[in-house]
């Protein structure tokens, strides 16, 4: 027994649920958010492929999605969640709102990372006759890779925090365990255990992200 309300089996199950939700939603969120971030940068007024219509549509949509607190987003898209996975309750169902939540965040983080690239590199690419796709693939992304790794690290940590609210749809996870077994049952030990586990996870992820970014920047 780890505490008066939980045992090691329950903790491991909650840890698995958290990692499952974070991993799957991050993959889908990145598949959506990274291209959106690239398009935001490319279609800016002074971008490599200026397009006011696309930029002026994507920009406010991303801002609107980012401005919604996760718990409100979770409830608001319940019909969409049912349409995608057939249910609005459970760990798998929680992945849908988590993906919708993290995708615009990743898009904005990617945009910021790409905007940090020295404009001289882009000008040199233009001078060599590179196409917009070639500029993105061979110049923009490689130069911003270290920053992109740190951005995705930030997104992962944000997702871990959001999974705590997944309990509203029966998503489970470490955060849900802290609320149900710790807060609602007034079990301080459970809260302490779950907090320690979350801190360790976050520290490990941040350390790995920092190490990878440092290694990439050296090369």
pLDDT digits (tens, 9 = 90+) for 153-197: 999 999 998 887 776 667 788 888 887 787 777 778 888 888 899
- Integer Cα distance of 167 and 186 in angstroms: 17
Q: What is the pLDDT of residues 122-153, one digit of tens each?
A: 888 888 988 889 999 999 999 999 999 999 99
Q: For the chain, what are the domain ranges?
A: 8-217
Work out the widest C-alpha separation in the chain, in whole angstroms: 68
Tokens of 113: 């990372």
Q: With beta carbons less than 8 A apart as the criterion, state whether 91 and 168 touch.
A: no
Q: What is the pLDDT at residue 144?
A: 92
Q: What is the pLDDT of residues 59-93, one digit of tens each?
A: 999 999 988 888 888 889 989 999 999 888 888 88
Stated pTM of the model: 0.89
Q: Which CATH number applies to 8-217?
A: 1.10.3720.10
Q: Examine the pLDDT at 13 and tell me if it is beyond 80.
A: yes
């Amino acid at each position: 027994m780890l505490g008066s309300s939980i045992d090691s089996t329950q903790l491991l199950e909650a840890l698995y649920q958290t990692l499952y939700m974070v991993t799957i939603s991050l993959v889908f969120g990145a598949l959506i958010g990274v291209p959106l971030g690239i398009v935001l940068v490319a279609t800016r007024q002074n971008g490599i492929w200026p397009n006011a219509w696309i930029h002026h549509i994507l920009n406010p949509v991303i801002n609107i999605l980012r401005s919604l607190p996760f718990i409100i987003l979770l409830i608001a898209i319940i019909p969409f969640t049912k349409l995608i996975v057939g249910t609005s309750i459970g760990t798998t169902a929680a992945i849908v709102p988590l993906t919708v939540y993290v995708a615009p965040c990743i898009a904005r983080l990617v945009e910021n990372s790409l905007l940090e690239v020295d404009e001289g590199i882009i000008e040199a690419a233009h001078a060599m006759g590179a196409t917009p796709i070639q500029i993105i693939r061979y110049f923009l992304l490689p130069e911003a890779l270290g920053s992109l790794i740190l951005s995705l690290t930030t997104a992962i940590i944000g997702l871990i925090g959001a999974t705590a609210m997944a309990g509203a749809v029966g998503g489970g996870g470490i955060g849900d365990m802290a609320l149900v077994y710790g807060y609602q049952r007034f079990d301080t030990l459970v809260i302490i255990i779950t907090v320690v586990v979350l801190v360790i996870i976050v520290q490990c992820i941040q350390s790995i992200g920092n190490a990878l970014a440092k290694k990439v920047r050296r090369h």
